[in-house]
Amino acid sequence: MRPWVRIVSACTIDGRIASSTGFSRLSCEYDLKRLHMHRAECDAVMIGARTAEIDDPMLTVRLVPTKRQPIRVVVDGRLSCRTSLRLFRTAREIPTIVFTSERADPGKIRELKDLGVNVEVVGHEKVDLKAALEILYSRYGVRKLLVEGGGNLNINLLREGLVDEIYVTVTPYVFGSGVSIFNGDGYKDTSECPRFLLKDVVICECGNCVVLHYLIER
Ligand SMILES: NC(=O)c1ccc[n+]([C@@H]2O[C@H](COP(=O)([O-])OP(=O)(O)OC[C@H]3O[C@@H](n4cnc5c(N)ncnc54)[C@H](OP(=O)(O)O)[C@@H]3O)[C@@H](O)[C@H]2O)c1
């Protein structure tokens, strides 16, 4: 068993979630509030190692009322993230999990555990994402998982059939290069890629962004 998986992302008109310099602040104030509503609705929030390194996010609910903070989850196959990240420094207050592989340095695992981080080793070369989701479900009680990118984690989850729905906010910008919302080994044509079913379209209160809600067809 695994949690329901929801990807939420803000991208440019050309589908980029970050520019070539790593700039990624695309959301307007209304979109940020929506993101915090998603966080409040989910049991855990997952990000990839590069997003953790570049953005140094807290992944907490701050802009809407909430009864509890979601568990924070980082997928970091080589355990390359700095231990000084805010997520790790606050792990004693808010549960924080790192999924890594057997490539991780045991010394770094100890360092993170000393900070109060739950470190789970799943997989040899890469993190076995299916096993990671099963652990979230059975060991941590996660039923609804919010994935906040980046593009590499998103495509890896999609390729393994582990995504149930996506919310994409298309913002009024174009980067022309950078990281796309699903970034990695691609599909060769439409017959290979999963089918997305449009569930809802909302024009943002700012009047300049569109939120697309798609379900993945099974
Ligand atoms: N606009 C938005 O909504 C939004 C949201 C999130 C992020 N972003 C931006 O996106 C950029 C980062 O995206 P990204 O695609 O470069 O990186 P990412 O997806 O955040 O992280 C990629 C890293 O995650 C690890 N990873 C992912 N799947 C794995 C697996 N199955 N096993 C092991 N490790 C795995 C790998 O680390 P190792 O290679 O170390 O093993 C991989 O290099 C940042 O600039 C961030 O600001 C934008």
Mean pLDDT by 10 residues, the chain (218 residues): 98 98 97 98 98 97 96 97 98 98 97 98 97 98 97 98 98 98 95 96 98 95
The pLDDT of residue 174: 98
Q: What residues form DSSP beta bridges with 75?
A: 48, 99
Strand 210-216 and strand 165-170: the pairing is antiparallel
Whether residue 178 has its Cβ less than 6 Å from ligand 1: no
Tell me which of 152, 169, 174 to substitute to probe ligand 1's pocket, judged by most ligand atoms within 8 Å of the beta carbon: 152
Tokens of 30: 């209304």
Do 117 and 96 touch, CB atoms closer than 8 A?
yes
93 contacts: CB under 8 Å, gap ≥ 6: none
Q: What is the C-alpha to C-alpha distance for residues 113 and 135, in angstroms, rounded to an integer?
A: 18
Q: Is 136 helix (H, G, I), strand (E, B) or coil?
A: helix
Do 51 and 153 touch, CB atoms closer than 8 A?
yes
Q: Of the candidates 103, 94, 42, which has an alpha carbon nearest to the alpha carbon of residue 76?
A: 103
Q: What is the C-alpha to C-alpha distance for residues 199 and 121, in angstroms, rounded to an integer?
A: 36
Tokens of 29: 């104030």
The pLDDT of residue 213: 98
Q: Of the candidates 16, 77, 72, 69, which has an alpha carbon nearest to the alpha carbon of residue 41?
A: 69
Whether residue 54 has its Cβ less than 6 Å from ligand 1: yes
Q: How far does residue 131's CA lie from ligand 1's centre (Å)? A: 18
* Protein residue with its CA nearest to atom 34 in ligand 1: 77
Q: How far does residue 107's CA lie from ligand 1's centre (Å)? A: 23
Tokens of 24: 């990624």
The pLDDT of residue 218: 78
Question: How many other C-beta atoms are found inside a 10 Å radius of the C-beta of residue 183?
Answer: 21
Q: What is the C-alpha to C-alpha distance for residues 151 and 18, in angstroms, rounded to an integer?
A: 9
Q: How far does residue 197's CA lie from ligand 1's centre (Å)? A: 25
- Containing structural domain, residue 40: 4-216
Q: Is 111 helix (H, G, I), strand (E, B) or coil?
A: helix
For the chain, how many structural domains are there in total?
1
Q: What is the C-alpha to C-alpha distance for residues 187 and 194, in angstroms, rounded to an integer?
A: 9
Q: What is the C-alpha to C-alpha distance for residues 144 and 44, in angstroms, rounded to an integer?
A: 7
Q: What is the C-alpha to C-alpha distance for residues 152 and 158, in angstroms, rounded to an integer?
A: 10
CATH code where residue 143 lies: 3.40.430.10
